[in-house]
Amino acid sequence: MSAQEKSKFKVVFMGTSDFAADILKALVKANYNLVTIYTRADSKIGRKQEINETPIKQIAQEKNLLVLQPEKFTPEVIAELENIKPDLIVVAAYGKILPKRVLEIPKFGCLNVHPSLLPKFRGPSPVQNTLLFGAKQTGTTIMLMDAGMDSGDILAQEKIDIKPKELFPQLLKRLALLSAELLEKTIPLWLEKKIETEKQNPQEATLCQLIERGDGKINWNQEAYEIFNQYRALYPWPGVFTFWESKENLILRLKLTDIDWKKDNSSFENEIGKVFQKNDSIGVQTLQGVILLNEVQLEGKKSMKIKDFLNGYPDFLNSFLK
């Protein structure tokens, strides 16, 4: 599709996160007629409550694109969108549910970029949940939005393999770039009416759990690979953590900031949850296998290499984590 043909179609983009930022950059680079950008309201962070703008707002301002940040889709906000008369709305990690009235505005509908192989992992945290479940393959989906939760018809999908020790930020970045590339191929075909959509099979659908801070709590009665998948999925936030009782009988929250795992066929070589040393490695016994500690962080402290941590807290060795 030529630049002249693209200019005929008014495109509205809605997104918020770094994932969405890669999608928006691709649309800008491809010279789509982006008439308005919607993103979530600025937030305040830190003790000084400094204003934090979304990555989407920053890109839009750099490119001199109109940015709107409505708190809700009120009748007035919807009327303003209707006046824009977009031909197409593209949504990526926006963080807001679009009302039915909004979905009905554009002639070519609302396309959503969802980083999973729908109908698997519908919902707000598909990449984390993919890693939590130890999947070996994932991908991205371009779908036509409907009133349901990621239940609309599929326009295009692409798969990728997940690397064995890939962490959430690494996989998310790869999926963002893959999604941007797929979207760039899909939009012209959709606008030229050259795509036949495919309905999702609801019986194959799985829903994501919303990730919360408490989800990082480690259960040492799980197998080592399950705990390692939890670490991969929840890195860097909320991260995985455990509790350690120091020699002063203080219960301390300990975040495991860098770990690995080892499959150990000799179950219960140590009691579950015990911290032990084997050669140059510091491990924690699980139900099956060992979690190897590389870096840890006490709450309120900086992350430390495990050997440096042991120098300050020698009683950590041979203790039990809870």
pLDDT in single tens digits along all 322 residues of the chain: 787 788 889 999 999 999 999 999 999 999 999 999 999 998 766 666 677 899 999 999 999 999 999 999 999 999 999 999 999 999 999 999 999 999 999 999 999 999 999 999 999 999 999 999 999 999 999 999 999 999 999 999 999 999 999 999 999 999 999 999 999 999 999 999 999 999 999 999 999 988 999 999 999 999 999 999 999 999 999 999 999 998 888 899 999 999 999 987 665 568 999 999 988 999 999 999 999 999 999 999 999 999 999 999 999 999 999 9
Cβ neighbours for 72, distance < 8 A, ≥ 6 positions apart:
none
Tell me what pLDDT residue 115 has. Answer: 98
pLDDT, tens digit, 9 for 90 and up, residues 166-201: 999 999 999 999 999 999 999 999 999 999 999 999
pLDDT at 266: 60
Residue showing tokens 């000799």: 266
What does the pLDDT read at residue 248? Answer: 83
What pLDDT, on a 0 to 100 scale, did the predictor assign at position 258?
98
Q: What is the pLDDT of residue 286?
A: 94
The predicted model scores a pTM of 0.94
- Among the listed residues 216, 218, 219, the one whose alpha carbon sits nearest the alpha carbon of residue 233: 216
- Give the model confidence (pLDDT) of 266-317 as tens digits: 655 689 999 999 889 999 999 999 999 999 999 999 999 999 999 999 999 9
Question: What local confidence, expressed as pLDDT, does residue 5 receive?
Answer: 81
**Residue keyed to tokens 């982006």:** 34
- What is the three-state SS of the chain? CCHHHHHCCCEEEEECCHHHHHHHHHHHHCCCCEEEEECCCCEEECCCCEEECCHHHHHHHHCCCCEECCCCCCHHHHHHHHHHCCCEEEEECCCCCCCHHHHCCCCCCEEEEECCCCCCCECCCHHHHHHHCCCCEEEEEEEECCCCCCCCCEEEEEEEECCCCCCHHHHHHHHHHHHHHHHHHHHHHHHCCCCCCECCCHHHCCECCCCCHHHHECCCCCCHHHHHHHHHHHCCCCCEEEEEECCCCCEEEEEEEEEEEECCCCCCCCCCCEEEEECCEEEEECCCCEEEEEEEEECCCCCEEHHHHHHHCHHHCCCEEC
Q: Across the strands, what pairs with 161? A: 137
Is 113:140 a contact under the CB 8 Å cutoff?
yes
Other CB atoms within 10 Å distance of the CB of residue 220: 19
* Averaged confidence pLDDT in the chain: 94
The whole-number pLDDT of residue 47 equals 66
User: Given this model, what pLDDT does residue 6 score?
Assistant: 81
- pLDDT score recorded for residue 250: 87
CA–CA dist 222, 215 (Å, integer): 14
- Greatest Cα-to-Cα distance within the chain, rounded to the nearest angstrom: 73
Domains of the chain: 3-204 (3.40.50.170), 213-316 (3.10.25.10)
**pLDDT at position 199:** 97
CB 274 within 8 A of CB 320: yes
